[in-house]
């Protein structure tokens, strides 16, 4: 049975999932990045079949200090479950826009 959960429970579950990922350490260099759900299922990064990440990277390369393009790339990466890359992209954006709350 599927039940609705409150916002606080959802945030707690997300935090627990993040802690689980952090405790596992860095990923192996031989395979795709992965994340383990609270149910124990491995969630692998998805391929960039539609080219959204590649397109966002190309636009960002042309204008590397454009915050909107940094966000576009990080959202494309997160949509493909490439969460570590998305965090890295946002962290790089914070170097030139440290006061931007969207990053």
> Given the structure tokens 């409150």, which residue do they identify?
6
CATH match of 48-103 with 1.25.40: yes
Give 71 or 13, the one with higher predicted confidence: 71
Task: Identify which of 22, 17, 47 has the alpha carbon closest to the alpha carbon of residue 32.
Answer: 47
Higher pLDDT, 31 or 51: 51
Torsion of CA 92, 48, 82, 71, to 10 degrees: 40
Domain boundaries, the chain: 1-44, 48-103
In tens, the pLDDT along 67-94 reads 999 999 999 999 999 988 999 999 999 9
Confidence of residue 32 (pLDDT cuts 50, 70, 90): low
């Amino acid at each position: 049975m599927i039940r609705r959960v409150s916002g606080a429970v959802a945030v707690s579950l997300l935090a627990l999932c993040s802690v689980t990922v952090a405790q596992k350490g860095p990923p192996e260099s031989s395979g795709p990045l992965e994340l383990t759900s609270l149910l124990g299922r491995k969630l692998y990064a998805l391929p960039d079949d539609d080219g959204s990440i590649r397109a966002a990277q190309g636009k960002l390369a042309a204008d590397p200090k454009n915050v909107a393009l940094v966000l576009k790339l990080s959202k494309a990466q997160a949509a493909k479950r490439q969460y570590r890359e998305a965090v890295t992209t946002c962290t790089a954006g914070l170097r030139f826009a440290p006061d931007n709350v969207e990053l």
